[in-house]
Amino acid sequence: MQPTVKRSRGRPRKAPEDQPSRAALIRAGLVHLTERGYSSVGVDEIVAAAGVTKGSFYHHFASKADFGAVLIDAYGAYFQDRLTKCLAREGLSAPERLRAFADDAEAGMARHQFTRGCLVGNLGQEMASLPEPYRAQLVGVLRNWQRITAQCLRDGQQNGEIGAHHDPDTLAAVFWTSWEGAVLRARLERQPEPLRQVATAFLQFASQ
C-alpha cells in the first residue's frame, strides 16, 4: 500500500529563477524610466534590457501600469535608505548632513553623466498621461522624504544650527520642491551647478 502524500495548500512555490528575473526587471525599469520616463519606454525594451522573456514580465506584473507602480515603491524605498543614511549620521551637524546628502546625490548623477534623474520627478512631469493612482503614490513618496528631512531640521534647531523661527515641515517641503527642480536642470545642462546652487542657498536660508 502506497503511503499517503500530503499536498501543501496555497500557491505553488516559485521557481528559484523567478525572484532574480523579477529583480532584473525592476533594475532595468528603474534605469530606463529615470533616463527616459514612462511613456517613451515599452515592455519589449524592458525585457530585452533585463535579459528575460516577455512571459516572465507578465508572470510578475499584470501590466505595464502595475510594473510602474512597483517601480515607484522600489525607488521610494531605495532613495529613503540613501536619504536616511545621510540625514541620520551621527557626529555631523544638520547642515553637514544635508550637505552630505547633496554631495551623494550629485555623485550619483555624475556617475551616469547626468543622464538619469529622479524617478518621482520624471513621472510627476508626465502625470497627465499616467495612471491616476500614480499621483497618490508619488505624493506619498515625496511626503516621506520630507518627513525624514524635517526631522533632520528639527535636530538642527535643537542644536542652534537651524533658525528657530522656521517651521521644519514647511522648510522640508521647500527643500524638496527646489531640489527636484535642480535635478531637472542638472540633467538638462549635463552639469552639477544647479544642485550646488540649491543646496548652498537652502542651507544659508535655513541657518538664518
Q: For residue range 10-55, what is the model confidence (pLDDT) as tens digits?
A: 443 444 346 789 999 999 999 999 999 999 999 999 999 999 999 9
For residue 5, the model assigns a pLDDT of: 37
For all residues of the chain together, what is the average pLDDT? 92
For residue 147, the model assigns a pLDDT of: 97
Q: Minimum mean pLDDT among 2-11, 25-34, 103-112, 117-126: which range?
A: 2-11
Share of the chain above pLDDT 90, in %: 90
Specify whether the CB–CB gap between 113 and 144 falls below 8 A. no
d(CA 182, CA 178): 6
Placement of cell 536619504 in the chain? 83
For residue 20, the model assigns a pLDDT of: 82
For residues 156-163, average pLDDT: 97
Specify whether the CB–CB gap between 162 and 150 falls below 8 A. no
For residue 19, the model assigns a pLDDT of: 78
Cβ-proximal residues to 72 (8 Å cutoff; 6+ apart), any chain: 119, 120, 123, 134, 137, 138, 141
For residues 103-112, average pLDDT: 96
State yes or no: pLDDT of 9 exceeds 60: no
For residues 117-145, average pLDDT: 97
> How far are the Cα atoms of 51, 70, 72, 202 from residue 149, in angstroms, in the given order?
37, 24, 19, 13
Specify whether the CB–CB gap between 160 and 146 falls below 8 A. no
For residue 172, the model assigns a pLDDT of: 98
For residue 112, the model assigns a pLDDT of: 96
Q: 65-207 in CATH: which number? A: 1.10.357.10
Placement of cell 531640521 in the chain? 153
pLDDT in tens, 69-101: 999 999 999 999 999 999 999 999 999 999 999
